[in-house]
């Protein structure tokens, strides 16, 4: 199918149904947020949660790496894809979004029902007492404690579980679904009887079970779907 046919097919799947959208890094690449596994993605050491909790070496490494990158997310702005999903939610055509992203761009675009599967970049939670801090405050503490260090310029969310069990369609956008949390939400929805639509550049873990598979970028496809379903309204 061509781009127009793809959009028409997705719009037909969503029309008149309750849809849960599962998103990954691919929906935010147009905002300048790097994809983890796409072309040009930097090499990163994978750190297991248990290693992070137990070993100070990994704690120092991950906090240093995060200090280099978190302000990129702070400056990012929602893409056409984020805005399209917000429009569809406000029109009653999307029940909610379960996102693997921590960038808060769905909320900034105006989406109201957002399950943040991996948390959010702008809030830090103490693993010992549960106290919450802004990421900006933690940045001040890190820099104050490291004056000589140069800084160049999971339980699943219950909201996501409820949406997965109640939707008619699950739309996976901009994610390879390699990370187990996103794939779990998709499988929960499919096993409850939902149709699966996958939109991504490159293969995903759910391609073999998708009812509709579209190769393409999140922004252009979602903007087209929103226009097909809602017309030119903003």
> How far is Cα 141 from Cα 154, in angstroms, rounded to an integer?
26
Give the model's confidence band at 233: pLDDT under 50 very low, under 70 low, under 90 confident, else very high.
Answer: low
Catalytic hit among 82, 83, 90, 118: 118
> How far is Cα 189 from Cα 161, in angstroms, rounded to an integer?
8
Q: Domain residue spans in the chain?
A: 1-33+78-117+156-234, 38-75+121-153
Mind listing the pLDDT tens digit for each residue in 70-87? 887 888 999 999 999 999
pLDDT for 40 equals 46
Q: Is 118 a catalytic residue?
A: yes
218 pLDDT above the threshold of 50: yes
pLDDT for 148 equals 77
Tell me the CATH number for domain 1-33+78-117+156-234: 3.40.50.1220
pTM: 0.81
pLDDT for 4 equals 79
Average pLDDT over residues 59-79: 86
Mind listing the pLDDT tens digit for each residue in 149-203? 766 654 556 788 899 999 999 999 999 998 788 998 999 999 999 999 999 999 9
- In terms of C-beta density within 10 A (0-12 exposed, 13-18 middle, 19 or more buried), how is residue 14 classed? buried
């Amino acid at each position: 199918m061509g781009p127009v046919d793809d959009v028409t097919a997705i719009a037909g799947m969503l029309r008149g149904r309750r849809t849960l959208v599962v998103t990954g890094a691919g929906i935010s690449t147009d905002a300048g947020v790097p994809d983890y596994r796409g072309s040009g993605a930097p090499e990163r050491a994978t750190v297991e949660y248990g290693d992070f909790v137990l070993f100070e070496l990994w704690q120092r490494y991950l906090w240093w790496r995060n200090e280099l990158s978190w302000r990129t997310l702070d400056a990012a702005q929602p893409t056409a894809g984020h805005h399209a999903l917000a429009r569809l939610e406000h029109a009653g055509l999307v029940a909610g979004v379960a996102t693997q992203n921590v960038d808060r761009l769905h909320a900034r675009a105006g989406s109201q029902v957002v399950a943040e599967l991996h948390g959010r970049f702008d809030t830090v939670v103490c693993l010992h007492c549960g106290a919450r801090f802004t990421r900006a405050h933690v940045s001040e503490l890190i820099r104050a404690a490291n004056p000589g260090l140069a800084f160049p310029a999971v339980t699943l969310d219950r909201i996501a579980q409820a949406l997965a069990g109640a939707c008619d369609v699950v739309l996976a956008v901009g994610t390879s679904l390699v990370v187990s949390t996103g794939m779990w939400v998709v499988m929960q929805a499919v096993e409850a009887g939902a149709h699966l639509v996958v939109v991504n550049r490159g293969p995903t873990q759910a391609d073999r079970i998708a009812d509709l598979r579209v190769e393409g970028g999140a922004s252009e496809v979602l903007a087209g779907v929103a226009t097909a379903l809602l017309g030119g309204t903003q």
